[in-house]
Amino acid sequence: TGGHARVDGNTVLSVGEWHHVAISVDMPTLLASLPATNGLTMYVDNVLQTNTVSEIVGVGISTNGMDNGLAPLGFGTYLTVGGNGIESCASSQDVDGKLDDFRIYSRALGADGVDSLFNETCDAAVITQQPESQSACSGTVSVSCTAQAGTVSEIRWERFYNTIWHDMNVSHTGPTSTFSGIDASQNGPWRAKLISPCGLVTYSDVIVTAVGGPAFGNTQSGFYQDAYLCSTLGSVELDANAAGISSTYQWQEYINNVWTDINGATDPTYDATAAGSIRVNVAACGQTETSDAFSIIPVNGHSVVVNGFTSGNGSICLGQSTGIIIQTSLSSTITWSPSGGSLSPSNILTVSPSETTTYTITATSDFGSCPATTTATITVNDPDPIISENNGMLELTGGPFTNIQWYLNGNALGGANQSSYTPATDGNYTVSVSQNGCNATSDPYAYTGVPTGIEDGAASGLKVYPNPFSSDFIIETNELTTVSVMNAMGEVVLSRTVNGRTSIDATSLSAGIYFVREETSGAVMKLVKN
């Protein structure tokens, strides 16, 4: 009729999913019903599709261009089946994808037939020997792949070039396939494509073939350049490895204007021990090529030194960092040990060690290695003031320290700037100090040893009265000793040497609370001036 009949499925096919689509055409019924679509059915995943339309959209088949009852069947976007066989065609349909298995039957399939196809099992080919990458002369490379007998019906070979895989028109039906005679024009990745009896496709590992002549081929200048000989090491290694292809080598040196074979220099590598001009002849696959000549240049006097520090002259406080200024005689790559830190483009190594550390710095010359080493020591200062108690006096250890300041419950005590302090009040005492330009504060020390009255000093023989007093007071002791009077801040306001009964003139003192300390016994008594 020149028209077309079409069935459009009502199942949505999502991107990235595999689906089983079966289309059945009962041609006599279809021809009798045109322009209707009776006799044209479609199953998606074994489910009959019921939506019938008369325009070309989505997934479906058409009978457009019927010839003697033979209909070309269109599936997807680019595949048409029937008429002249399977061919691709330009189309505006919406569906594109990969066909895993495509079958054509000479009869219309009913629901039972579609169900049988949907539930049919299909196994992939089992590869027992993967192909291996090969390196040999042009025209002699062979690659093979073997599958388990009975699991493969065809093995084909593909090569990757121009950004896609290309079939190489080589097919074998047995379990083993060998592709022989690969030449230099066929270099590149290869793989085997194995097709199982039910049509599933399996790909082998991707391999690489390297074929041709000597290693440096026509790009020899890219393989050889001037080499630098470290005068302290005595040799420099030159490499002409021919990338796995069986090759022979002969190194030569330029002597008296003549290129002369170096006796015994027939390995891929050669250790040059003296200045001069060197080249190498490489023979492979019936070809011999000679490298460009290059020079062996001695490197003398390579050195690395530490040229100062960015701060602290090599001495820092814990938690700080400094930069080690590195100077080399040649352009070099800098490494250091122990690890940690960072190197700036101007060769300043910034480090922050947690303890005094000596760094070993190695400068490897960009001209033939030639390493040189030096060391730099970073001294880490970590003041550690510790408070201890001795006969009622707080003492500072861990010094020597400067800038000493005692604190009571976080408040600075005026005049308390010595390495010892006599508490006048119970509480938490700390002390801040400086050492080598670094500051630190001690852990708190809880002091609870201040006596509270005259009776507390009775055991030592210390007596103070009257208490309270107005202008002067009496101190009695059992022996010659020194007595100090401190205010509530712990500051010593009076100090006297006494023996027995002594009157103390305290008219200069303001009214308030004071503490009398007898230094020999450490006894302390509270005293109040009205």
Question: pLDDT value at position 453?
Answer: 46
Residues 294 and 308 in one domain: no
Residues 3 and 87 in one domain: yes
Question: pLDDT value at position 297?
Answer: 73
What distances in angstroms separate CA 262 from CA 231, 266, 283, one per listed residue?
21, 8, 16
User: How many other β-carbons are positioned within 10 Å of the β-carbon of residue 231?
Assistant: 12
Pairing of strands 512-518, 269-272: unpaired
Say if residue 173 is exposed, middle or buried (CB neighbours under 10 Å; 0-12, 13-18, 19+): exposed
Q: How far apart are CA 298 and CA 370, in angstroms?
A: 10
Residues 116 and 1 in one domain: yes
DSSP 12: P
What distances in angstroms separate CA 172 from CA 100, 147, 178, one per listed residue?
20, 12, 8
CATH number, domain with residue 478: 2.60.40.3080
Question: pLDDT value at position 326?
Answer: 93
173, 194, 211 — which closes off a domain? 211
Residues 75 and 179 in one domain: no
Q: Are 192 and 184 contacting, i.e. CB atoms less than 8 angstroms apart?
A: no
Q: How far apart are CA 258 and CA 254, in angstroms?
A: 6
Question: pLDDT value at position 296?
Answer: 77
Question: pLDDT value at position 316?
Answer: 92
29: helix, strand or coil = helix
Residues 434 and 391 in one domain: yes
Question: Domain span at residue 255?
Answer: 220-299
Residues 390 and 503 in one domain: no
Residues 247 and 274 in one domain: yes
Residues 138 and 244 in one domain: no
Q: Where are the beta strands (DSSP E) in 107-214?
A: 127-129, 134-136, 141-147, 154-161, 164-172, 176-182, 188-195, 201-203, 207-211
Question: pLDDT value at position 61?
Answer: 40
Say how many domains are in the chain: 6
Q: How far apart are CA 430 and CA 127, in angstroms?
A: 78
Residues 439 and 475 in one domain: no
For residue 400, say if its preceding peptide bond is cis, omega within 30 degrees of 0: yes
166, 184, 211 — which closes off a domain? 211
447, 471, 490 — which closes off a domain? 447
Question: pLDDT value at position 339?
Answer: 92
Question: pLDDT value at position 98?
Answer: 56
CATH number, domain with residue 362: 2.60.40.10
Question: pLDDT value at position 347?
Answer: 92
Residues 13 and 111 in one domain: yes
Closest CA to 91 of 53, 49, 60, 54: 60
In a structure prediction context, what are the per-residue pLDDT tens digits for the chain, which is 530 residues long? 344 556 666 777 776 677 788 877 777 777 777 666 677 788 888 888 875 443 333 333 444 443 333 344 444 433 444 333 333 343 434 444 556 666 777 677 788 888 888 887 778 899 999 999 877 777 788 889 999 998 898 999 999 998 899 988 888 888 999 988 887 778 789 999 998 887 778 999 998 876 666 655 433 333 445 666 676 545 666 666 555 566 788 889 999 999 999 999 888 788 777 788 888 888 877 778 788 787 877 776 678 888 899 887 889 999 999 999 999 887 888 999 999 999 998 899 999 999 999 999 998 877 666 788 999 999 999 999 999 988 778 899 888 899 999 999 999 988 889 888 888 778 999 999 999 889 999 999 998 876 554 445 555 678 898 888 888 999 988 888 899 998 877 788 898 999 888 999 999 988 888 888 888 877 888 888 88
Provide the Cα torsion 384, 390, 392, 397; round to 10°: -20
Question: pLDDT value at position 94?
Answer: 40
Residues 5 and 104 in one domain: yes
Closest CA to 295 of 255, 262, 253, 332: 253
Q: Where are the alpha helices (DSSP H) in 70-196?
A: 111-118
Q: Are 63 and 56 contacting, i.e. CB atoms less than 8 angstroms apart?
A: no
Question: pLDDT value at position 458?
Answer: 57
Residues 23 and 88 in one domain: yes
Question: pLDDT value at position 211?
Answer: 65
Residues 6+ apart with CB under 8 A from 39: 25, 26, 27, 28, 29, 30, 32, 33, 108
Measured over all CA atoms, what is the biggest interatomic distance in the chain, rounded to whole angstroms?
146
